[in-house]
Amino acid sequence: MSERRWRAVDAYFGETIVGRDSVLEATLKANAAAALPSIDVSPAQGKLLTLIARMARARKALEIGTLGGYSTICIARALPPDGLLVTLEADDKHAAVARANVARAGLADRVDVRVGPALNTLPRIEAEGLGPFEFVFIDADKSNNANYLSWALRLSRPGTAIVVDNVVRDGRIADAASRDPDVTGTRRMFDPT
């Protein structure tokens, strides 16, 4: 399916199933105003994250890769009022935008935005005893997907829902000869050895 066709299908589901959401629309506007990359999950994908986190009955969730907080808001909405979402963002600017978006959404009381490289932050989360998490969303640098999945499993319990974004890589995941670090990092995540 072409990128154009994919976007049309996703927009269709966003309009017919998801509907308008002023909080998430404001989040996208704030992200654009801050010149963040336009790589947020789509409204339909965000709704799916909310649904999966609810189905997992998540009280505690972990997100690796916050960006401007769009997916963060979607996940946090699935948590109970006393729930906790720990979200990791490497970039200070992105984290500041995300904090503002989460606060505007009325979810700051259940979201903890941590700044720094995730592979440095994850051991601290483990040391603090914040796990196990019932829902994990991985959407950061794809070259580290295998490392992030390893940490997700370590900080989970049986039954935890783990979602990893962008694994298909426009079909390049099937190319065993690829030297693209995003493809090879994602392929390592599926390596049984």
Residue 22 in domain: yes
Residue 165 lies in a domain: yes
pLDDT, tens digit, for every residue of 43-98? 999 999 999 999 999 999 999 999 999 999 999 999 999 999 999 999 999 999 99
Helix (H) or strand (E) holding 185: helix 181-190
User: Which of 85, 47, 44 shows the shortest CA–CA distance to 66?
Assistant: 85
Listed residue (97, 105, 79, 115) closest to 34, CA to CA: 97
Nearest to 161 by CA among 71, 44, 49, 73: 49
What's the predicted TM-score (pTM) here? 0.91
SS3 of residue 115 by DSSP: strand
pLDDT tens-digit series, residues 136-181: 999 999 999 999 999 999 999 999 999 999 766 566 677 788 888 8
At a CB cut-off of 8 Å and minimum separation 6, what does 28 contact? 40, 68, 70
Q: Could you list the residue range(s) of the whole structural domain that residue 132 is in? A: 3-36+59-190
How many domains in the chain? 1
Helix (H) or strand (E) holding 173: none
Within a domain: residue 146?
A: yes
Q: What is the CATH number of the domain that holds 100?
A: 3.40.50.150
In 3-state terms, what secondary structure has residue 80? coil
